[in-house]
A and B are shown apart, each in its own frame.
Chain A
Amino acid sequence: MRLRKTALVAAGLVAVLAAAAGCGSGSGAGGGTKNSDGSVTIDWQMWAGSSDEQKQLDHLTKLVHQKYPKINLKLRTAPFKDYFTKLQTEMSAGKQACLVSMQSLRLPGFAANLEPLDQLAKDADLSGFDPAALKALKADGKQYALPMDLGALMMYYNADAFKKAGLKAPAKGWTIDEFVADAKALKAKSGKPGFGMSFSDLNLMSLLYAYNGAQPVSGDKLTLTGKKMQDAMTWYTELATKEKVGSVPASSSEGGWGETQFANGNAMMAVDGTWNIGSTIGQAKFNASVAPLPVGSAGARTYVANSGYGISTNCAYKKQAFQALSVLTGDEAEGYLADQGRAYPARTSQQPKFGEYLAKQDPKKADLVKNALATVKDGLDGSVPFTTTQNWDQVNQLFSQYLLQAYTGATSPKNALDTVQQRAQRGA
């Protein structure tokens, strides 16, 4: 009798355990579920940070449902900086979504888990996309994702500070030497660093690429020990150690140092992607503008980086997933995101909407915006997709720890690069 009571308590505990186990994300294998009414619920994994971003994505899921009433999208989000780590853990647990949002940089590392779309997209018309945007989402010649946006790395500059220092605003064709000279003049005039430095892959590597064409990855191998890369890194490091114009990140955990210092008015220039044009120009308390990256010894160079959506190989509803995908990358969806100022669309027909949005936000800054968007097209000249290795998270982590040492002068740029190269070996 009493024993039974004890057993009851134990059983209760087990029930609690089981119930709580059931309150997980509830997504089964296959990245989606078939419902009793014949409709299909497809999981969609995407990054989102702010509540606004979340709302925009919710709207996109509604667009899909309107077009295909038998398809429901179930959105799962993680912040961008953790997104790819999380994606890995989900894949290792076999819980990845059917629809997977993918950034061009990370595509090589995930290509094995993504379905090549060439077959599914056979009948689809891809001519509406900017070719650069499509190209960035290819790996081994296969299209693994369709693009949501188009982006490239540019130089953001504080137009007010340039004017105050009596400098000509940077424009297409300005050179590396002019960049350094301007940074010095800005520093002399404003007392604040002329350039916000970074150890984040795109922000850093695009300027090195512009400097002399040095690239960190060739094929799928990390190549940090070449002469070109050493030269470029030495030049970059000396912005802080020799020229004293660089603002050095305050710690290895400051991934977005350069951009945020710029946006706060503490650094007069910084490299950042087109995707931040709207927020940076809009929020800055000064007149911010963008220019193409300065031209170095290898001619005009920058990286294209953009994002899109792919379908995972274990997806049980590939046909429906592709239907959803075509809505997500369709005119209406991309136009909507442009209207919201979220992204510079990959669909050429929708691209003007982004400019309209920006001009609407702050009529006083309309000219800045127009100039900036003209620059986006200019900046795409000579651009290539940024490719990465499989263990890119590890490489990024190593960058943050060891390149900072070079920036502060604690070690030489060559040493820092060698260290990263050597330590990344094992995970490669």
Chain B
Amino acid sequence: MSTDTLRRTAAHDTGADRIQRRQRNRRIRQTISHVLLVLVALAFLFPLIFTVATALKPAGETFSTPPSLVGSSIRWQNFVDVFTFVPFHRYILNGMFVAGAGTIVTLIASALSAYAFASLKWRGRDSLFLVFLGTIMVPQEVLIVPMFILMQRFGWVDSYAALIFPWAFTAFGTFLLRQFFKAVPYELQEAARIDGCGPLRTFLQIMLPMAKPALGVLAVFTFVNFWNSFLWPLVMINDVNARGTVPLGLELFFGQNGNQWHLVMAASVISILPTLILLLFLQKHLVKGVATSGLAGR
């Protein structure tokens, strides 16, 4: 009997009502979910917010009970002091140069070999490609010690070259670009060939322009990897004030000024800025790049 009445009330409920109610419920749920999500995001960002806050506090006010985000005054001067305290501009320039040169070499080498793997037919191609893929698995750390000896033999210890070349030949870049080149319609290449274009012209005039998005993504991530790299510069660079990169400078700066947290945090903010700006401007491409290729940090 009770089921019967229930069924009848349900039947009285018009479909429109039900949909409306459901929509309202969903909207409420979504709002709650959004609010929570924003809270989670804020908690997640807290370390970075706290960093910026500390970077703007006067000396000696880093720790307070209870913790506060604002010191007795906002001190922008800290950001200037970083540069007078250590040659931080030098680290930035070095980092830009090393990352820039490293990116260029990586792109050239990767694009050339990717094209050969994707579009040319030659003996030993597939087995060589397997070898390439195998090298992706080799962790940088394993190579550090023999690479150090190698750099000694080259006379590259404490040089920009040592920071740039050893890590500029990645099978990963080859792999990524090869996928893109393979997607270029074969007819297009064939047409170019019939027009009398050699492989180099085909590569430069047809393939490279097509692969621009992939090249861009690879460029940005390569740049970021070089920019952030720490262990290798730590081992390789002796004259830090002359050839040190940003992470190295930051770490040493920190070691020397363990008590001056406000300056260390200001330096950290500065070191984060370039990659952050890249991320904000190129977010769509970067996110897409990660999503499609899973480009991970080195």
Q: Note whether A and B form a binding pair.
A: yes
Contacts from A to B (Cβ < 8 Å)? 1-2, 5-6, 9, 13, 16-17, 20-21, 23-25, 48-51, 54, 76-82, 86, 89-90, 92-93, 95, 254-257, 260-261, 263-265, 285
User: Assuming the A-B contacts A89-B238, A285-B60, are A5 and B157 also in contact, with contact meaning beta carbons closer than 8 angstroms in the complex?
Assistant: no
Given contacts A21-B156, A76-B238, list 4 more A-B pairs with CB under 8 A: A9-B108, A21-B155, A25-B243, A81-B255
> Does B259 lie within 8 Å of A24, measured CB to CB?
no
Contacts from B to A (Cβ < 8 Å)? 60, 84-87, 101, 105, 108-109, 112, 148, 151-152, 154-162, 164-165, 198-201, 235, 238-243, 252, 255-256, 258-259
9 smallest beta-carbon distances between A and B, as pairs = A24-B159, A2-B198, A260-B259, A20-B161, A86-B238, A93-B157, A79-B252, A49-B256, A76-B239
| Most chain A C-beta atoms within 10 Å of own C-beta, residue among B85, B151, B155 | B155
Whole-angstrom distance between the alpha carbons of A23 and B163 in the complex?
Answer: 11
Whole-angstrom distance between the alpha carbons of A54 and B88 in the complex?
Answer: 13
> Does B198 lie within 8 Å of A13, measured CB to CB?
no
User: Assuming the A-B contacts A25-B158, A51-B84, are A93 and B252 also in contact, with contact meaning beta carbons closer than 8 angstroms in the complex?
Assistant: no
B164, chain A: closest CB distance, angstroms: 6
Q: Cβ of A16: which chain B residues have Cβ within 8 Å of it? A: 105
Q: Cβ of B240: which chain A residues have Cβ within 8 Å of it? A: 77-79, 82
Whole-angstrom distance between the alpha carbons of A124 and B288 in the complex?
Answer: 70
> Does A79 lie within 8 Å of B256, measured CB to CB?
yes
Q: Cβ of A20: which chain B residues have Cβ within 8 Å of it? A: 101, 159-161, 164-165
Whole-angstrom distance between the alpha carbons of A265 and B259 in the complex?
Answer: 10
A329, chain B: closest CB distance, angstroms: 23
Whole-angstrom distance between the alpha carbons of A82 and B241 in the complex?
Answer: 12
> Does B256 lie within 8 Å of A264, measured CB to CB?
no
Whole-angstrom distance between the alpha carbons of A82 and B239 in the complex?
Answer: 10
> Does B238 lie within 8 Å of A90, measured CB to CB?
yes
> Does B161 lie within 8 Å of A17, measured CB to CB?
yes
22 A-B pairs within 8 Å (CB atoms) are namely A1-B198, A2-B201, A23-B159, A24-B156, A25-B159, A25-B238, A25-B239, A49-B256, A50-B85, A51-B87, A77-B239, A77-B240, A77-B242, A78-B239, A79-B256, A80-B256, A81-B255, A82-B240, A89-B157, A95-B155, A95-B157, A255-B258
Q: Which of B86, B109, B259 contacts A13 (CB 8 A)?
A: B109
> Does A23 lie within 8 Å of B161, measured CB to CB?
yes
Whole-angstrom distance between the alpha carbons of A421 and B256 in the complex?
Answer: 28
> Does B241 lie within 8 Å of A21, measured CB to CB?
no
Whole-angstrom distance between the alpha carbons of A60 and B235 in the complex?
Answer: 29
User: Assuming the A-B contacts A77-B239, A285-B60, are A21 and B252 also in contact, with contact meaning beta carbons closer than 8 angstroms in the complex?
Assistant: no
Q: Cβ of B108: which chain A residues have Cβ within 8 Å of it? A: 9, 13
> Does A79 lie within 8 Å of B160, measured CB to CB?
no
Q: Cβ of B148: which chain A residues have Cβ within 8 Å of it? A: 89
> Does B161 lie within 8 Å of A77, measured CB to CB?
no
- Of chain A, the residue at the smallest CB distance from B112 is A9
Whole-angstrom distance between the alpha carbons of A2 and B197 in the complex?
Answer: 9
Q: Cβ of A254: which chain B residues have Cβ within 8 Å of it? A: 258
> Does B252 lie within 8 Å of A81, measured CB to CB?
yes
> Does A21 lie within 8 Å of B84, measured CB to CB?
no
Q: Cβ of B164: which chain A residues have Cβ within 8 Å of it? A: 20
Q: Cβ of B151: which chain A residues have Cβ within 8 Å of it? A: 93
Whole-angstrom distance between the alpha carbons of A1 and B201 in the complex?
Answer: 12
A99, chain B: closest CB distance, angstroms: 14
Whole-angstrom distance between the alpha carbons of A6 and B115 in the complex?
Answer: 13
- Of chain B, the residue at the smallest CB distance from A21 is B161
Whole-angstrom distance between the alpha carbons of A21 and B235 in the complex?
Answer: 18
Whole-angstrom distance between the alpha carbons of A9 and B200 in the complex?
Answer: 10
Whole-angstrom distance between the alpha carbons of A50 and B257 in the complex?
Answer: 10
> Does B239 lie within 8 Å of A264, measured CB to CB?
no
B194, chain A: closest CB distance, angstroms: 15
Q: Which of B152, B199, B252, B256 contacts A92 (CB 8 A)?
A: B152
Q: Cβ of A2: which chain B residues have Cβ within 8 Å of it? A: 198-201
Q: Cβ of A79: which chain B residues have Cβ within 8 Å of it? A: 240, 252, 255-256
Q: Cβ of B159: which chain A residues have Cβ within 8 Å of it? A: 20-21, 23-25
Q: Which of B112, B157, B241 contacts A48 (CB 8 A)?
A: B241
B92, chain A: closest CB distance, angstroms: 14
> Does A24 lie within 8 Å of B158, measured CB to CB?
yes
- Of chain A, the residue at the smallest CB distance from B197 is A2
Q: Cβ of A78: which chain B residues have Cβ within 8 Å of it? A: 238-241
Whole-angstrom distance between the alpha carbons of A82 and B238 in the complex?
Answer: 8
A74, chain B: closest CB distance, angstroms: 10
